Homo-oligomer: A and B are copies of this chain.
Amino acid sequence: MPKPQSHERPYHHGDLRRAIVMAALEILHETQSLEFSLRELARRAGVSHNAPYKHFADKRELLAAVSAAGFETLTKRMAREIVGLDNARERLFAMLRAYIDHGVENPALYSLMFGGHLSGPERSRPAIERAEAEKTKALLAGVIVAGGLGRAIPHISRNERKIAGAILACWSLVHGLTLLLADGLVGPKKKSGALGDSLVQGILDGLAVELPALPPGTWIGPQGS
Residues of A in contact with B (beta carbons under 8 Å apart): 31-35, 107-108, 111, 114-117, 119-121, 123-125, 133, 137, 148-149, 152, 160-162, 164-166, 168-169, 171-177, 179-180, 182-186, 195, 198-199, 202-211, 213-214, 216, 219-220, 222-223
Chain B residues with CB under 8 Å of A164's CB are: 211, 219-220
Distance A202 CA – B169 CA, assembled complex (angstroms): 8
Most buried by B among A164, A172, A205: A172
Query: Would you give the shortest CB distance from A6 to chain B, in whole angstroms?
Result: 35
Interchain residue pairs with CB less than 8 A apart (8): A116-B179, A123-B184, A164-B220, A171-B176, A172-B180, A172-B199, A173-B176, A176-B177
Q: Are B31 and A211 in contact (CB under 8 A)?
A: no
Query: Would you give the shortest CB distance from A202 to chain B, in whole angstroms?
Result: 6
Contact of A120 among B35, B114, B202, B214 (CB under 8 A): B35
Q: Are A166 and B209 in contact (CB under 8 A)?
A: yes
Q: Are B121 and A33 in contact (CB under 8 A)?
A: yes
